Structure 1
Amino acid sequence: MTDTEHSTSASPAESKSLSGAPSNAATPRQRGMRTALIVLVLLAVILGAALYYQQRQYQALHADLLRQHDDSVRQAEDTQSQAAQALALAKQQATQLEDLRNTLNSTNNQVQDLDQALQMMTDSGSDLMLLNDIDRLVTIAQQQLGLGGNVANAIVSLEAAQAQLARANRPSLAALQQTLNGDLDRLRAVVTVNVPALSAQLDELSGLVAKAPLLVPDAAAQPAPEPAATASSRAAVPAPAETTGWRHALSRAWGWTRNTAGDLTHDLRGLFDIRRVDDTAALLMSPDQALRFREGLKQRAVTAQLALMMHQPKIWQAELAQVAKSVDHRYDMHAESSRQALKLARDLHDAPIEVQLPNVDNTLQAIAAAREAAAAEDSQQDSGGDGSDPGNDASPASQSPAAAPAGKV
């Protein structure tokens, strides 16, 4: 009984101890499962976040690709429209170019037709029109040679006439062309006057007569340099040797006397100038008269320049001779500028300004002869045409009587 009770009383305690042991053993396992669950949850969250981020990146990349695709499509459309416009513009320009080519061809055809018509008119008619043009050009050349002596303009006119004859290519005018070539060669061989060089020398002469000193000094003359005679003479004299006593006093007195005499001689030379003057009026000119005299000489130089331009040798020589005479008589020949002006005036006086120019009378005579020959040929053609018509009209009449008996037979 007691054992039974003891066993019964001990069984609950044992059952409690047995039930407490498994609960203590299950606690670490549950903790591990919780940790694993937490790790799994964290991994799931991380994977979900990564998937979400990749999804967002994919969507952004997809949107960017779509935008680039739209831009590429739009650019392709713009390029296609521009290409279409360029193609249309090229077609339009090709059409315009074709129109211009057609217009140019039609214009060339019209020009050729006009040239042919003009050639036919010229060939069918007489040579009087061409001869009139040649005569006008040769007359202009003759006027240039006769009035102004302008060889260059005359050559230009004759070259124009020569070109017209060469273009016409008329065998009947071959003699005229040869004569014109001969006159043109003679004009080209003419040695012309160097007008610019002579004009420059005249300008130099005007400057010299305006500044060179006259016999009577005036305000316009350039002052001549004063000779330093005393200083040079004093410098040239050697210094005497050192002496003492009365010889030293004598040498000093002699040197003072010589220097004083040199100074006095120099001053007297400055006060008095003895020279020979052919024109006494040259010493009596006032400053105003000297100024007018210089202006008159410059005016003569201008007149000589006009004579040079107009090819008037008599006026040229007369003016320059008067200038040379005035410079020789009224200018101070001790000055270099006066001597240079006199030499230049005499050289210009001796320079020829008149050149024997050939004329074109031979060409004018050849034109007159060609005009007469052309007029005679035209009259012969007119008379021949008038005589051929009656002959042609009479020939059927003369043949008809002969043909009538033949028909009757």
Structure 2
Amino acid sequence: MTQDTSQESLSAALQTPSRRFIPQTAIVLSTAALIASGGVWLYQQQAMEQLKLDVSRQLANNKTSASQLTQQLAENTKLQQQFVGKLSLLEAKQAESLNQQQALNNMYEALTHNETHRALSEIEQILGFASQQLQLGGNINGALLALANIDQKLTQLNRPELISLRQSITRDIDTLKALPYVDTIGISAKIDSLISGLDDLPLAIDSYRQAPPQAEESVSITAFGRFSDDLWHQLKQLIKIRRMDKPEAMLLSPEQGFFLRENIKLRLLDARTTLMLKDETSYRSDLAAALRYLEQYFDQKSPQTATSIATLKQLHSQDLVITLPELGTSLAAVRSARTIAERAKQ
């Protein structure tokens, strides 16, 4: 039995093996997979070629851009070099301009200090003269004019160190403007008017010499009546009784009346002179004498005489002496500024 089994195994081994059945679906799928793989490979190849083409084109563009950029950089470098050269030139010119400006400033400062020193010397002289005229002659208008000119000079100088001096000048101008005004020219004109009208003033004796006004005669008066009236008038002229409160006025002769008028004129002329000299005592004395003569020897009932007396009284009450300020503060300020200018010049 064992031998039979061995023979069957040998015969089975010597037989040709039968082919196995492969299904159709697997073949189709395998073929489709191969075709798809081929398609993908072809697509990848085309995409790779396109990518290479794009990359080559981009590299070419980049190379052109790099070339243009290099050229532009070269031009920018050239422009920058030109700009640096111009900037260096401008810096050199600016440095030269600064040096020139500094030199001009130094020259200006020197000239300004010299001009300030000269102006301060001139201002000191003007202030001294104005102060003398103010104290000796009472010339307020002249002092105001001098101070105004000084303030104008200080404005033109426009120096910060002269501010205190300008303030002192301004205070003195305000002080002088606040003083009461004495109309010397107006007073002098009134005195001249009194002198010119003195010859027309009637004396007290002239009022007594005038004949009383005659009454108008009626047309119906007869010749006899007219003769009797004339006779009676002539008789009344022989004797006159009048009351004289100032008998010395009746003693004036025409020649004495002339000298009286001339004496009053001389008094008024003296009053005008003392007015200019600010001599209030003599001024009042001369006007008081002229007023006394008018009241004593002239007819006060006359409108011209009354007007002249009223004018004399008004002029007599006029104050001439005014306490004038000194310009010492401004003088001290200008001297101080001059000292500072001299130190700065050194």
TM-score by length of 1: 0.50
Which AA in structure 1 matches 2:198? V
- Percent of matched pairs sharing the same residue: 24
Match of 1:318 among 285, 309, 318: 285
- Using the alignment, how far apart are the partners of 1:265 and 1:366 within structure 2? 88
Query: Cα deviation per residue 1:165-213 (whole Å; 9 max; x = unaligned)?
Result: 1222222221111111111122234342223332332122113332222
Q: Which amino acid aligns with 2:129?
A: I
Instruction: State the Cα distance separating 1:361 from its structure 2 match.
Output: 1.9
- SS of the equivalent of 1:322 reads helix
Indicate the residue corresponding to 1:275 in structure 2. 244
Q: Which amino acid is the alignment partner of residue 289 of structure 2?
A: Q
1:359 partner amino acid = E
CA distance in 1, matches of 2:138, 2:190: 21
Aligned to 2:168: 179
What is the distance in 2 between the residues matched to 1:265 and 1:355?
Answer: 64
Decide which of 122, 136, 145 is 1:147's aligned counterpart: 136
User: Residues 221-370 of structure 1: matches in 2 within 5 Å?
Assistant: 226-231=211-216, 263=233, 267=237, 271-277=240-246, 280=248, 282-370=249-337
- Cα distance in 2 for residues equivalent to 1:332 and 1:268: 24
Kept after mapping to 2: 8 A contact 1:208/1:338 = no
Q: For the Cα contact (< 8 Å) 1:126–1:374, is it kept in 2? A: no
Distance (Å, rounded) in 2 between the aligned partners of 1:345 and 1:180: 39
* Equivalent of residue 186 in structure 2, options 197, 202, 210: 197
Q: Tell me the residue number matched to 1:138.
A: 127
Given that 1:230 and 1:262 are in contact with CA atoms closer than 8 Å, whether structure 2 keeps it comes out as no
Q: Which ranges of structure 1 fall in alignment gaps of 5 or more residues?
A: 1-114, 240-251, 383-409
The 1:314/1:181 distance shift into structure 2, 3 A limit, reads same
**Are the counterparts in 1 of residues 116 and 157 from structure 2 also a CA contact under 8 Å?**
no
1:350 and 1:152, CA in 2 relative to 1: closer, same or farther beyond 3 A? same
Could you say which structure has the greater relative contact order, defined with CA pairs below 8 angstroms and 6 or more residues apart?
2
Q: 1:223 to 1:337 in 2, by over 3 A?
A: farther
SS at match of 2:133: helix
Instruction: Measure how far apart 1:272 and its partner are.
Output: 4.1
What SS does the aligned partner of 2:121 have? helix
Partner of 2:157 in structure 1? 168
Structure 1: how far apart are the matches of 2:263 and 2:106?
A: 66
Aligned residue for 1:359, secondary structure, equals coil
- Provide the alpha-carbon RMSD of the alignment: 3.8
Kept after mapping to 2: 8 A contact 1:277/1:329: yes
Q: Report the more deviating stretch, 203-212 or 288-297.
A: 203-212
Could you tell me whether the CA contact under 8 Å between 1:332 and 1:338 is conserved in 2?
yes
Q: Normalising by the residue count of structure 2, what TM-score does the alignment of the two structures yield?
A: 0.58
Give the partner amino acid of 2:277.
M
In structure 2, distance between residues paired with 1:300 and 1:161: 41
**C-alpha displacement of 1:126:** 9.4
**Contact kept in structure 1, 2:113 and 2:341, CA below 8 Å:** no
Displacement over 6 Å in runs of 4+: 115-118, 222-225, 258-262
**Residues 289/261 of structure 1: CA separation in 2 closer, same or farther (3 Å cut):** closer
- C-alpha change, 1:124 and 1:216, in structure 2 (3 Å) is closer
Residues matched between the structures, number? 241
Partner Cα separation in structure 1 for residue 112 and residue 321 of structure 2: 45
SS of the aligned residue for 1:193 comes to coil
- Deviation of 1:223 (Å): 10
Deviation, structure 1 residue 314: 1.7
| Aligned counterparts of 2:305 and 2:200: Cα–Cα separation in 1 | 9
Decide which structure has the larger Cα Rg and report it.
2
Match of 1:159 among 133, 148, 158: 148
Residues 343 and 268 of structure 1, relative CA distance in 2, 3 Å threshold: farther
SS of residue matched to 2:260: helix
Q: Which amino acid aligns with 1:208?
A: G
Cα distance in 1 between the residues matched to 2:114 and 2:300:
76
Aligned residue identity for 2:269? V
Structure 2 gap segments, 5+ residues each:
1-103
